[in-house]
């Protein structure tokens, strides 16, 4: 036993000494109903419970205190080209994160209301709408360890080159991951599923250049995002492998966050 863990046994030491005192007192107790022994025993138990109370309550509060001391959830951005499997990847990530015992949540702010038509005429307004939605989720999800975005700043950056619109997303989250498909792969999927320009205009004509834009984005921001290319047949991504690599980086970020507390 060391001096560091001796305080943890104060309540048990109290109970042991109190039991000895009760036994000694009972030797000289002439009351046939042993009432003094009874009340002294009750006092000993009450003293034991009182000494145990601070340690128990501290144990109950500890998880909340550790989480509240982390300044903000770790943010992970999953973005990339069409048909890359972003949403299934987010689902895999949440499963792996939960298996690690971390609390996570996800949000898909671009699906909460389409802003596609505004990028050309009102890029700042479109960006402000997305950023506002993201901030609302941040305020709602302050108790999670990890917040996963299904599309984030890269979608804005390939949709407009307006500096003021892009500036709204600063600072860029360091844990940004992009799935890079080719324009040919997207065109093949568009034809396969018979997706018309009226239904998905961003997958036709000049918006099909998004695939090229994402590749350029990965080259322009090598320190702000990590890109993945398809490794399976038919231009598919190994989502299990990608998710495990992302979770490994998230684990490192959580360690750094805890070290700063």
DSSP string, 5-42: TGGGGHHHHHHHHHHHHHHHHHHT---TT-HHHHHHHH
In order of 62, 128, 138, 192, 220, the CA distances from 172 in angstroms are: 32, 15, 15, 35, 13
Both 100 and 195 in one domain: the answer is: yes
Both 41 and 124 in one domain: the answer is: no
Report if residue 142 sits inside a domain: yes
Which residues constitute the domain of residue 181?
70-259
Structure-token pair, residue 37? 């022994």
Report if residue 149 sits inside a domain: yes
pLDDT of the residue at 54: 47
Total residues belonging to the chain: 261
- Is pLDDT above 60 for 220? yes
Express each pLDDT in 63-97 by its tens digit: 433 444 556 899 999 998 877 789 999 999 999 99
Whether residue 175 contacts residue 76, with contact meaning beta carbons closer than 8 Å, is answered with yes
Both 63 and 144 in one domain: the answer is: no
Express each pLDDT in 133-175 by its tens digit: 999 999 999 999 999 999 999 999 988 989 999 999 999 999 9
Q: Give the span between the Cα atoms of 203 and 205, in whole angstroms.
A: 7
Whether residue 185 contacts residue 230, with contact meaning beta carbons closer than 8 Å, is answered with yes
Q: How many CB atoms neighbour CB 134 within 10 A?
A: 19
Q: Of 20, 43, 67, which residue constitutes the final position of a domain?
A: 67
Q: How far apart are the first and last CA of the chain?
A: 30
Both 63 and 147 in one domain: the answer is: no
Report if residue 245 sits inside a domain: yes
Both 20 and 144 in one domain: the answer is: no
Both 92 and 63 in one domain: the answer is: no
Both 233 and 142 in one domain: the answer is: yes
Report if residue 131 sits inside a domain: yes
pLDDT of the residue at 192: 66
Express each pLDDT in 25-63 by its tens digit: 777 877 777 788 878 888 877 877 776 654 433 333 334
Both 48 and 159 in one domain: the answer is: no
Whether residue 117 contacts residue 201, with contact meaning beta carbons closer than 8 Å, is answered with no
Max CA distance (Å), the chain: 102
pTM beyond 0.75: the answer is no
Structure-token pair, residue 196? 């018309």
Both 74 and 26 in one domain: the answer is: no
Residue 79 maps to which CATH number? 3.40.50.300
Domain count, the chain: 2
């Amino acid at each position: 036993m060391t001096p560091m863990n001796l305080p943890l046994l104060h309540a048990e030491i109290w109970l042991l000494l109190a039991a000895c005192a009760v036994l000694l007192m009972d030797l000289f107790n002439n009351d046939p109903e042993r009432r003094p022994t009874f009340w002294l025993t009750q006092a000993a138990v009450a003293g034991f419970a009182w000494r145990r109370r601070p340690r128990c309550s501290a144990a109950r509060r500890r998880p909340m205190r550790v989480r509240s001391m982390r300044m903000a959830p770790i943010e992970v951005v999953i973005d990339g080209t069409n048909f890359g499997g972003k949403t299934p990847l987010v689902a895999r990530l949440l499963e792996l994160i939960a298996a690690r015992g971390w609390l996570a949540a996800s949000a898909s702010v671009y699906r909460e209301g389409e802003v596609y038509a505004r990028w050309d005429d009102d890029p700042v307004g479109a960006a402000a709408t997305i950023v506002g939605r993201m901030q609302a989720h941040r305020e709602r999800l302050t108790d999670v360890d990890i917040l996963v975005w299904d599309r984030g700043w890269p979608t804005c950056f390939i949709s407009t080159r307006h500096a003021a619109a892009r500036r709204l997303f600063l600072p860029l989250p360091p844990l940004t991951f992009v799935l890079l498909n080719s324009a040919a792969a997207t065109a093949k999927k568009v034809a396969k599923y018979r997706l018309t320009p009226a239904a998905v205009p961003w997958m036709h004509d000049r918006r099909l250049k998004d695939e090229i834009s994402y590749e350029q984005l990965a080259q322009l921001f090598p320190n702000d995002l990590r890109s993945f290319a398809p490794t399976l047949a038919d231009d598919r991504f190994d989502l299990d492998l990608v998710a495990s690599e992302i979770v490994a980086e998230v684990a490192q970020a959580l360690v750094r966050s805890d070290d700063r507390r």
